[in-house]
């Protein structure tokens, strides 16, 4: 099973101050060197984290495949046609949401998705549809030209008790079996963290997990002590930088 690391929230931190740091290309290099199998970024309509320039710069320097998540709008499609990422994941998007809150409604827009898939597939991009673990959506996904689906694990991750988590997990497993029987390749992601990923990683049909927020959050604590020590060393032994 592969790991795609979503680095959006490195950009969230940068955009909080409009600084040059933390540098996204440096982050991508670290993530790749640590074993990530792909770099995932979501260019949101409100540009709250990733910017167009980030996508262009990352496309130049990353060695692993880029997975560009985007809403299914004309502007985004034109942008994706210019970038030609190795993977493109269509996601639903609402401006007011904190993060992607549910899967794409494939059932109501099969022909639009089909046409968009064709445009990107012709340029060599493999398309994935981010959908809920729902039989109707999976059957509809099989009618589009998308070779991949990404099962939304957010409902499982958000379950606030064991019974609900087990129910969501069973639903995910059932949906993945259906998808595999329809020859869809299956990825999964959203809300996965250091406690809940094991159960998902045990599902053999899943090809790749896309994980972001928990990894970037964990990285703060892995690096916080070192960061304080480095600043302390500067203050204890100050040198002019001018
Ligand atoms: N997969 C998709 C389609 C997403 O939209 C996101 C969030 O951008 C992720 C995976 C990663 O989710 P998280 O940040 O909760 O790990």
Closest by CA to 214, choosing from 198, 191, 232, is 191
pLDDT at 99 over 90: no
Please, how many CA atoms are within 13 Å of residue 82, restricted to the half-sphere of its CB? 10
Taking the CA of residue 6 as reference, the ligand 1 atom at the shortest distance is 11
Please identify which residue in the block is written with the tokens 């991750």.
Answer: 157
CA of 38 from ligand 1 middle (Å) equals 13
Q: Is the pLDDT of residue 97 over 80?
A: no
Mutation choice for ligand 1 from 39, 100, 106, 219, CB with most ligand atoms inside 8 A: 100
**Ligand 1 centroid – CA 115 distance (Å):** 24
More confident residue, 218 or 145: 218
Q: Is 197 in the pocket of ligand 1 (CB under 6 A)?
A: no
Q: Across residues 1-26, what is the average pLDDT?
A: 98
Q: Which pLDDT value is given to residue 4? A: 98
Q: Catalytic positions, please?
A: 42, 69, 190
Assess whether pLDDT exceeds 90 at residue 200.
yes
What pLDDT does 95 receive?
65
The secondary element (H helix, E strand) that includes residue 1 is none
Q: What is the mean pLDDT of residues 66-79?
A: 97
CA atoms of 16 and 7, how far apart (whole Å): 15
């Amino acid at each position: 099973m592969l790991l795609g690391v979503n680095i959006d929230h490195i950009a969230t931190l940068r955009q909080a101050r409009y600084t040059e740091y933390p540098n996204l290309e440096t982050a991508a290099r670290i993530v790749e060197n640590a074993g990530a199998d792909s770099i995932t970024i979501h260019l949101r309509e409100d540009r709250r984290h990733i910017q167009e320039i980030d996508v262009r710069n990352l496309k130049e320097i990353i060695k692993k495949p880029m997975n560009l998540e985007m809403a299914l709008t004309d502007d985004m499609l034109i942008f994706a046609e210019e970038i030609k990422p190795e993977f493109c994941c269509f996601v639903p998007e609402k401006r007011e949401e904190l993060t992607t809150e549910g899967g794409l409604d494939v059932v109501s827009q099969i022909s639009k998705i089909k046409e968009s898939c064709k445009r990107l597939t012709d340029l060599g991009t493999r398309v994935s549809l981010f959908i809920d673990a729902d039989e109707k959506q999976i059957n509809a996904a099989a009618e589009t030209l998308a070779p991949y689906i990404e099962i939304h694990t957010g409902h499982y991750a958000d379950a606030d008790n064991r019974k609900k988590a087990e129910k969501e997990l069973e639903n995910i497993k059932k949906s993945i079996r259906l998808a595999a029987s329809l020859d869809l390749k299956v990825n999964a992601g959203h809300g996965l963290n250091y406690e809940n990923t094991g159960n998902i990683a045990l599902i053999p049909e899943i090809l790749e997990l896309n994980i972001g927020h928990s990894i970037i959050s964990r990285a703060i604590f892995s690096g916080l002590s070192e960061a304080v020590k480095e600043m302390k060393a500067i203050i204890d032994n100050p040198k002019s930088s001018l």
